[in-house]
Amino acid sequence: MQVFPRGSNAVATAFLILLAGGIIAAILLAIILTSSHYAYDQNLTVEQPVPFSHKHHVSDDGIDCRYCHTSVMVSHFAGVPATHVCMTCHSQLWTNAEMLAPVRESLKKNEPLRWQRVTSLPDYVYFNHSVHVQNGVGCESCHGRVDRMPLTEKRKPLTMQFCLACHTNPAPQLRPPDEITTMGYEPAADALSGQELMAHYDIDTTGMTDCATCHR
């Protein structure tokens, strides 16, 4: 006596093929999504109390990164501009501009502007700005061409793979000390090579890929 109707084998085979195909498709989709820009908030802007334009301040006005990020050379945290730093210029320029109302209000109330981080690492990752910039790593290497950003975006993924690539071979990312904040840096013909800069900064890659270097 026939228990299953004719064609059951074909139906079961088709179901198994579709199931396997669905599993493979789900795995591929997960891989694509986790490696996409959206997974790391790349190329996304963050709403700020003031629509600050790095392009205008850096490219048009020529303001150095360290003017606003005052602790970048000496601290793990680069720092965000205090209101009085903004008002150094804006007490004379665009004093009544509507978009600068939060800055004036901040000064009036003696309350800091609440800038939102665009580039943020997980709490379990230790990162020190001063160690990097004092050893030849330019701002552009991690933050991209901020001088071209009307609104600041996170341009680099800053994944573990991204960091390890530099820690394994830092030479290509190194610059002379006076070029750290230069945007669009191109080494001159007579500039020190990456290996010469490694020697200049006395960089030893031993231990730079150890877990404890970034996870403390």
- pLDDT value of residue 39: 64
Number of structural domains found in the chain:
1
* Torsion (CA) 79, 106, 148, 180 in degrees, nearest 10: -20
- Beta carbons of 117 and 46 less than 8 angstroms apart: yes
Answer yes or no: is 76 within a domain: no
CA distances from 68 to 10, 81, 89, 132 (A): 69, 5, 12, 18
Q: Is the pLDDT of residue 139 over 80?
A: yes
Q: Is the pLDDT of residue 192 over 90?
A: yes
Answer yes or no: is 72 within a domain: no
Answer yes or no: is 143 within a domain: yes
Answer yes or no: is 67 within a domain: no
Answer yes or no: is 185 within a domain: yes
For residue range 74-88, what is the model confidence (pLDDT) as tens digits?
999 999 999 999 999
Average pLDDT, the chain: 90
Answer yes or no: is 5 within a domain: no
For residue range 3-45, what is the model confidence (pLDDT) as tens digits?
666 666 777 788 788 888 888 888 877 776 666 666 667 888 8
Answer yes or no: is 110 within a domain: no
Range of the domain at 164: 118-214
- pLDDT value of residue 22: 85
The Cα angle at residue 187 between residues 182 and 190, in degrees rounded to 5: 135
- Beta carbons of 72 and 66 less than 8 angstroms apart: yes
Answer yes or no: is 187 within a domain: yes
For residue range 107-138, what is the model confidence (pLDDT) as tens digits?
999 999 999 999 888 899 999 999 999 999 99
pTM summary value: 0.80
- Which of 20-29, 59-68, 98-107, 130-139 shows the lowest mean pLDDT across its residues? 20-29
- pLDDT value of residue 120: 86
Helix ranges (H only) for 110-210 are: 129-133, 139-143, 160-168, 194-200
